């Protein structure tokens, strides 16, 4: 009978070796990397955001256009989490990989900017960010200033454009909205360049992002999946480990850094 702890240690060692020998490693991160920072994911039974709300009713482009106040009311506690969240050990482990030249780029589905807060510099946000907002009337873009956020979070005041007075839309990608063209192109280029893709905290069910691992596999890249639950690609990749990212990823990175110093 296989010892589960021994099997996991073996997979951790294999993942560390793949990272150590890779010439162009890229990471793809989903909501699961940020749940230890207190930000809920979208699909986990009982706790996922979409188990409590219909995404098309509260988080679609049509919902925003026709009921922006309802959208901002729904988003308010989520943004409060984003603003006060801090990077966890998994985010910090990726920063260590980047600083040690063992990670070229992070492609993230997350809008929380925790990779940047952790110190990572090469981050592609394919689902946008709450750091800026754009007016749908005059297309003026502003930064999410402390005053704007305080007015919104403390008083529930819907952000409005300082130029024309129309409601501002946060620069996050809603259902029914296309991904930002430049970021998506950059992400595709990184996938085509990589020889190793490290998938962290993603269920790989959201299109078109779920196609990125398939592109990496098709061109012969090694793929590592670290996730709390299983994914449909687990049997097709080099390493698949299920468990807590904030524990497993730092362990892998420790091994990579340790081997580098030998």
Cα 42 from chain centre: 12
> How many other C-beta atoms lie within 10 A of the C-beta of residue 40?
16
Select which of 91, 102, 115, 127 is catalytic: 127
In whole angstroms, how large is the CA radius of gyration of the chain?
Answer: 19
- Residue 252 makes CB contacts below 8 A (sequence gap 6+) with 12, 15, 16, 19, 93
Q: In 85-113, which ranges are continuous DSSP H helix?
A: 89-99
Cα separation, 91 vs 84, whole angstroms: 15
Quickly tell me which residue has 């296309």 as its tokens. Answer: 178
Beta strand 222-227 with 168-172: parallel, antiparallel or unpaired? unpaired
Q: Is 127 part of the annotated catalytic residue set?
A: yes
Tell me which residues are annotated as active site.
127
């Amino acid at each position: 009978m296989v010892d589960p702890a021994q099997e996991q240690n073996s997979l951790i060692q294999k993942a560390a070796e793949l990272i150590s020998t890779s010439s162009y490693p890229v990471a793809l991160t989903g909501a699961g990397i940020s749940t230890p920072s207190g930000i809920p994911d979208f699909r986990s039974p009982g706790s996922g955001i979409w188990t409590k709300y219909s995404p098309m009713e509260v988080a679609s482009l049509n919902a925003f256009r026709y009921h922006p106040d309802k959208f901002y009311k729904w988003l308010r506690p989520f943004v409060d989490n984003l603003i006060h969240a801090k990077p966890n050990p998994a985010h910090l482990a990726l920063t260590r990989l980047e600083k040690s030249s063992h990670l070229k780029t992070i492609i993230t589905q997350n809008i929380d900017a925790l990779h940047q807060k952790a110190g990572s510099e090469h981050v592609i946000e394919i689902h946008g960010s709450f750091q800026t907002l754009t007016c749908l009337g005059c297309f003026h873009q502003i930064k999410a200033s402390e005053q704007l956020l305080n007015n919104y979070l403390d008083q529930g005041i819907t952000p409005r454009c300082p130029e024309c007075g129309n409601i501002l839309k946060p620069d996050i990608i809603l259902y029914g909205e296309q991904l930002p063209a430049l970021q998506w192109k950059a992400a595709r280029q990184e996938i085509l360049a990589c020889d190793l893709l490290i998938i962290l905290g993603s269920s790989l069910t959201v299109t078109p992002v779920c196609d990125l691992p398939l592109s990496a596999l098709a061109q012969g890249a090694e793929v590592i999946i670290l996730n709390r639950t299983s994914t449909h690609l687990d049997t097709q990749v080099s390493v698949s480990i299920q468990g807590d990212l904030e524990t497993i990823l730092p362990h892998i990175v420790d091994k990579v850094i340790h081997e580098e110093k030998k």
